[in-house]
A and B are shown apart, each in its own frame.
Chain A
Amino acid sequence: MKKVGIIIAFFAVFLCLYFLQANFFTWFTIADVMPNLFIIFLLFIGLFAGKKVGAICGLVFGIILDFCIGKSVFMYGVMLMVVGFLGGLLDKNFSKDSRITIMLMVIGMTCIFEIGIYLISVLLLSANLEIVAFLRTLLIEIIYNVLLTIIVYPLFPALGYPIEEKFKGKTILTKYF
């Protein structure tokens, strides 16, 4: 599959996740808290397709989300771009073969994404600052995201390495030496 085909496949997966998140996960909640599938997806893209593709995909998908349901343009755009970019950076220092590492990455990315979104809401959109309630929600969301990561983890290496070969084919081995 060519790079363009993979990008189109990313977009198709994004649409599936959008409908899943908007319909299924609005009622399949833990204590009224939804997971965030986009964080896991953008982390996947960043890890296997590189920081540039991760950042661009994050920005595009985020802006689509902003247009569809967001309160301000670029809120999701910027934060998903950060997740995609950081995913690419993490690839240089950590192994993708360990389930625990991926789970820790999801925990970190969920924290960064949600704290960023909440800070933007508080500082720019004058949302009320409720630290205890925010931390409680964040903790449940992290647990939910980690559980989903355990379920979808086998897809990471199975789908990820062919993608990595296409996007980082020439540099894939040089980083280890």
Chain B
Amino acid sequence: MYKNKKSGIIGIIVTIVILIVIVFLSNVEVGQLSDAQNVFTSLIMPVQNGLTYLKNKLSGNDSFFTDINRLQEENEELKQKNKELEESLRELEITKNENERLTELLGLTEKYSNYTTIPAYVINRDMNNYSNMIVIDVGAKDGIKENMVVIADKGLVGHVVSVSDTTAKVQTIIDPSSTVSSTLTTTRDNIIVRGSIEGESRLKGTYIQPDVLIAEGDSIETSGIGGIYPKGIHIGVVKQVIPTKNTTDRYVWIETAVDFTKLETVLVIE
């Protein structure tokens, strides 16, 4: 137990602050620093403007003080109006988000019109750092079966590994246990794409034949070999080629077409 209650509370508060700072710093990207600048500017500039305004008024205009009562009334009215506007804005935001989701699903269905598909929402994600499963809101009652392929608007997501009546568990292609037989879109050479625990939206391409020419930016799609994934579904693009002393060991890092951190809507191919 803490020997001193006050220092204990301070310790906890300091730890929470440190945790928030670490989480923020570990997730911030260089491009986001301009946003931070904007935040500071938007925090400081209104105060600065207010002070300048006050200084100007005090230095030469007495009517500023006589108008305070009128301004207060006006302020109250404006606050009320602002509240009403904020409420309507919230309602509009909700409608807009719903509309976007439905449009996305419609777009998905049209894009993969040659497949019979079942639309679904992602309702749960894996809670472990060493696996990457998702749960979708369709199950056996909707006609979902094991090994059905799951796709999103930009490419392959994974395949169904188990089904309940109303939900299905999907093993994503970024799961470390996932292996997909793939093809380079340009040269039609086959490689094996594996999931990795080294960050989300990243795959490792291995078993590259020594004579295969592979470069950054090459597109990768499913080869159709293996019996689960149909041919020609986009997986991602080569982000980095890692050369090794032995050319048979070389591998590539592939950036997935699908952003798994923001995955919300998917289609299950029947």
On A, residues with C-beta under 8 Å from B are 18, 21-22, 25-26, 28-34, 36, 65, 68-71, 97, 99, 114, 117-118, 121, 125-128, 130, 133-134, 137, 141, 144, 147-148, 150-151, 153-154, 157
Report A160 CB to chain B, min CB distance, Å: 10
Q: Are B177 and A125 in contact (CB under 8 A)?
A: yes
Which residue from A65, A126, A134, A151 sits with its C-beta under 8 Å from B130?
A: A134
Within 8 A of A (CB), among B2-20: 2, 8, 11-12, 15-16, 18-19
Q: How far is the CA of A99 from the CA of B2 in the complex (A)?
A: 8
User: How far is it, in angstroms, between the C-alpha of A9 and the C-alpha of B9 when the chains are bound?
Assistant: 26
Q: Please tell me if the beta carbons of B125 and A26 are within 8 angstroms of each other in the complex.
A: yes
Cβ–Cβ < 8 Å partners of B200 in chain A: 32
A71 touches B131 (CB 8 A): yes
Seen from chain B, the residues whose Cβ lies within 8 Å of a Cβ on chain A are 1-2, 8, 11-12, 15-16, 18-19, 22-23, 26-27, 124-131, 133, 135, 161, 169, 171, 175-177, 179, 194-200, 204
Identify 19 new A-B residue pairs, CB closer than 8 A, beyond the known A18-B127, A133-B197, A150-B11. Answer: A30-B23, A30-B26, A32-B27, A36-B128, A68-B124, A69-B125, A69-B127, A97-B1, A114-B129, A127-B175, A130-B197, A133-B198, A137-B129, A147-B15, A147-B19, A150-B15, A151-B15, A154-B12, A157-B1
Contact A128 B130 (CB under 8 A): no
Q: A130's contact among B23, B169, B198, by CB below 8 Å, is which? A: B198
Contacts of B23 in A (CB 8 A): 28-30
* Distance to closest chain B CB from A173 (angstroms): 19
Q: Are B125 and A154 in touch, CB under 8 angstroms? A: no
